[in-house]
Amino acid sequence: MQQAEQSKLHLYNSLTRKKEKFEPINAPFVGMYVCGPTVYGEPHLGHARAAITFDIVFRYLKHLGYKVRYVRNITDVGHLEDEETEQGEDKIAKKARIEQLEPMEIVQTYTIRYHRGMDALNCLRPSIEPTASGHIIEQIGLIEEILENGLAYEVNGNVYFDLEKYRETNDYGTLSGKVLEDLQSGSRDTEGMEEKKSPHDFALWKKASPSHIMRWPSPWSEGFPGWHLECTTMSTKYLGDTFDIHGGGLDLQFPHHEAEIAQSRGARGCDPARYWLHNNMVTIDGAKMSKSAGNFITLSQLFKGEHDLLEKGFDPMVVRFLMLQSHYRSKIDFSNDALLAAEKGYKRLMNASDVLHSMDTGTFKKEGEGSGDTEILEQCRLCHETMNDDFNTAQTLASLFELASKINAIQHAQLDADNVSLQAFTTLSKTFDDFVFDIFGLKETDSGKNGKTEELVKLLIQIRAEARERKDFATSDKIRDDLQKIGIQLKDDKSGETTFTIN
Ligand SMILES: Nc1ncnc2c1ncn2[C@@H]1O[C@H](COP(=O)(O)OP(=O)(O)OP(=O)(O)O)[C@@H](O)[C@H]1O
Ligand SMILES: [Zn+2]
């Protein structure tokens, strides 16, 4: 089964702008590199989208029987405030200055928060999670390779990639479809620009100014590596010069991923990856949600409902479900209503799962075929077909909902269990569990259990209100405090209404 499905997987390769059959370089092994976060702020919904997209890819490849090495970096140095001009402070150093902490304290704090957020969303941890600061020696080595090949130059302790030289023998811009000549370079007038042979040349190494805290010795100056360089260094170190899949957000296609391609070709004469996958953005009022734009909703705000745009807190699984409802190459515009709709869908699946797991298999037709089999098996087949079609989770969900309806129909005897063979039921059960839990990575949480916890809390709130009316404050406080101990917070507003959040 898995072997057969392996050969059907097609993915959209941003490099060729076509859906292509997935053929790993060295099956059954697959190498996948994904650009990770720059850890200087709270993880937000945009980060969740990137992490969930590639978590689904990781899980599905594993489901197909591949042995996947998934590498996702942590950028802890070299990402400057102005990406285009490569000027300004290091994003992490700036945060450290503002909060009066060590840069590595910032890195530690936000790496932990990122992990917590992604763990809550049930994203599997990557196989390797390398940091840029842990690979300075390798980055210097890579710059030396590019210099030896005559594709970089040094000026005043800075080393730049020589794009004009590179373009004598290579295309630049294939991935993003950008033509350099058409690009306005906003960088012409900025400081340090006169050093570059061409305005689009990007830094491989930068000399640290006296105030720059994060610095390392190198053959050129005491300084730090360019942002694009870390990904080329770490991806190829752990996955080989050319690996299977390179992923990241669409916002990174240019210049970050173009630079990665140029660096790999410049150093080793080969492309870094066969397939480039890009997830689209989470937007808010149409604009990309990002740390630097300040228009983000953090995961913790989402889970607790602590944001003006949110009516209440949402379970991490609802957030995960929201992402699954769209194809990873479409935009998702954030709204409270979209989350409410996702919550309904998620509960529907979890209810069907409860029904499925409580069914008595003894009632199914033992042999031969049932008249209800064909439709069930067709939806099971479609689950694979839609995932094989560039991970179309939105379509796969449609089939899972069809299967959920079948499960409910069997339960309510609208579809007679006599009409379903045990074999078809077993396929349904396995497909449903495989896709919902293993591939989509959903898990049953309290909010999936038909809101039973919520009902119980509401009941306790009512008992508490009655206790208060009879001035039995001991009982009222006990209810509030004991709920608090198990992570349920009650909040009394001025009008006497009590609301709650469950963590
Ligand atoms: N709004 C978003 N939608 C989808 N993916 C996103 C979004 N924002 C960031 N990402 C992805 O998350 C990963 C980590 O990005 P990064 O830490 O640079 O986040 P950021 O919020 O965009 O930061 P900055 O504002 O500093 O650019 C990248 O793969 C990036 O493409
Ligand atoms: Zn990267």
How many domains, the chain? 3
Residue 2 lies in a domain: no
Q: Which atom of ligand 1 is nearest to the CA of 293?
A: 25
CA–centroid distance, 106 to ligand 1, in Å, is 17
pLDDT (mean) for 305-334 = 96
Among 226, 255, 279, give the residue marking a domain's end.
279
Which residue has its alpha carbon closest to ligand 1 atom 14?
A: 37
Residue 8 falls within a domain, yes or no? Answer: no
How many CB atoms within 10 Å of residue 5?
Answer: 16
Q: What's the domain range around 331? A: 284-439
Instruction: Return the closest-CA partner of residue 501 out of 342, 313, 306.
Output: 313
Residue 465 lies in a domain: yes
The whole-number pLDDT of residue 212 equals: 84
Question: For the chain, what's the residue count?
Answer: 503
Residue 100 domain-assigned (yes or no): yes
Assess if residue 162 is contained within a domain: yes
To the question of whether residue 270 is assigned a binding role by annotation, the answer is no
48-52, 224-228, 432-436: which has the minimum mean pLDDT?
224-228
Pocket test for ligand 1, best of 230, 291, 326, 327 (most atoms within 8 A of CB): 291
The protein residue with its alpha carbon nearest to ligand 1, atom 22, reads 290
Question: Would the CB of 457 count as within 6 Å of ligand 1?
Answer: no
Find the radius of gyration of the CA atoms of the chain: 26
Asked if 365 and 242 sit in the same domain, the reply is no
- Model confidence at 419, in pLDDT bands (50, 70, 90)? confident
Mean pLDDT calculated for residue range 5-23:
95
Per-residue model confidence as pLDDT tens digits over 256-282: 999 999 999 999 999 999 999 999 999
Q: Which residue puts its alpha carbon closest to atom 8 of ligand 1?
A: 46
Q: Are residues 145 and 80 in the same domain?
A: yes
pLDDT at residue 185, rounded to an integer:
56
Q: Are residues 130 and 209 in the same domain?
A: yes
CA-to-CA dists, residue 226 to 77, 174, 310, 379, angstroms:
9, 22, 38, 49
Domain stops at, among 418, 439, 460: 439
270 and 298 in a single domain? The answer is: no
Are 396 and 261 members of one domain?
A: no
383 is in an annotated binding site: no
ipTM exceeds 0.90, yes or no: yes
Helices (H), 121-199: 136-148, 163-167
Confidence of residue 79 (pLDDT cuts 50, 70, 90): confident
Neighbours of ion ligand 2 (CB under 5 A): 35, 231
Residue 3, pLDDT > 80, answer no
How does pLDDT run across 470-490, given as a tens digit for each residue?
Answer: 999 999 999 999 999 888 889
CATH code assigned at 329: 1.20.120.640
CA distance 288 to 292: 10
Whether 59 and 396 have beta carbons less than 8 Å apart is answered as no
Whether 159 and 143 share a structural domain: yes
113 lines ligand 1 (CB under 6 A): no
Task: Work out which ligand 1 atom sits closest to the CA atom of 83.
Answer: 27
